[in-house]
Every structure is written in C-alpha cells, then in structure tokens.
Amino acid sequence: MMSRVRTKGTSPELALRSALHSAGIRFRLHRKDLPGKPDIVLPKYEIVIFVHGCFWHHHEGCIKSKMPKTNIEFWQNKIAANVMRDKSNQDDLAKLGWQTLVVWECEIKKDVHGVATQLIVLLSLSKTGNSK
C-alpha cells in the first residue's frame, strides 16, 4: 500500500502548478541541486515552494494530520523524522539565500486559486532578480 503513495506529481501539486502557470508564473520542478528537491522552484525570485501533505508532514491543527490508532510508535517516529528533515532542508535553503514557502494540501484543496493569488501577490512584492 505504501508503494502507491506518490512524492511527485500529487494532485495538490498539479493543481497549484496549473494555477501558477495560468497566471503566467514560470517555474522549475524538483531541482536536485537544492536541499529537499523543492516541488516548485522560482529561480527569478529565489523562492522555493514545498507542497506538503497534511498527514505526512504533520500539519498542526488539521484534521488530515490525525495520527493512526495502530502502530502508533512507528508513525510518530516516521512523521517526526519528516518534520525534522523539512526543517533541516528549509534551514539549508535559507543559508543558500532561498526563501522557502510551504503550502499545505488542505489549503490547496479548499481554494487553489486563492492560494495561487496569494503567491502571485507575494511574487509581485518580491525582488525580480536575475535567474540562478
């Protein structure tokens, strides 16, 4: 069952990518030379976007991040490791000069166009530096 869980090309990620592309925002995907292989990379703005699943990355306060009732110790360790790795990747990206944004699965499913609009506003306020 676990082998069916995708890490790339998830439906929330595809929805956000589609909304950004429709708005004329161009990006790169899963750059292997950056820590954590961010889902969406905006080199012009030096911004990376991670689209996190609420369960896998423990979205605090979200109903989808509820811990399973069986094999509790395994899941606590697994999700804690994911959260620690996320933090480490974000710290490493900051040291390299990249701004990190995290967009949660539930936010995208609730209102993908609202999330995309917020990102576009942020980009318009951000610097329009040279490509990396």
Count of structural domains, the chain? 1
Residue 128 covered by a domain: no
CATH number at residue 117: 3.40.960.10
Distance CA 124, CA 132 (A): 18
Q: pTM for this structure?
A: 0.85
Would you write out the chain's pLDDT as a tens digit for each of its 132 residues?
Answer: 454 555 677 888 999 999 999 888 899 999 999 999 999 999 999 999 999 999 999 999 999 989 889 999 999 999 999 999 999 999 999 999 999 999 999 999 899 888 888 888 888 877 654 444
Sorted by sequence, the CB contacts under 8 Å of residue 115 that are 6+ apart come out as 16, 19, 103, 107, 108
Sorted by sequence, the CB contacts under 8 Å of residue 97 that are 6+ apart come out as 46
Residue 131 covered by a domain: no
Give the domain extent around 113.
2-122
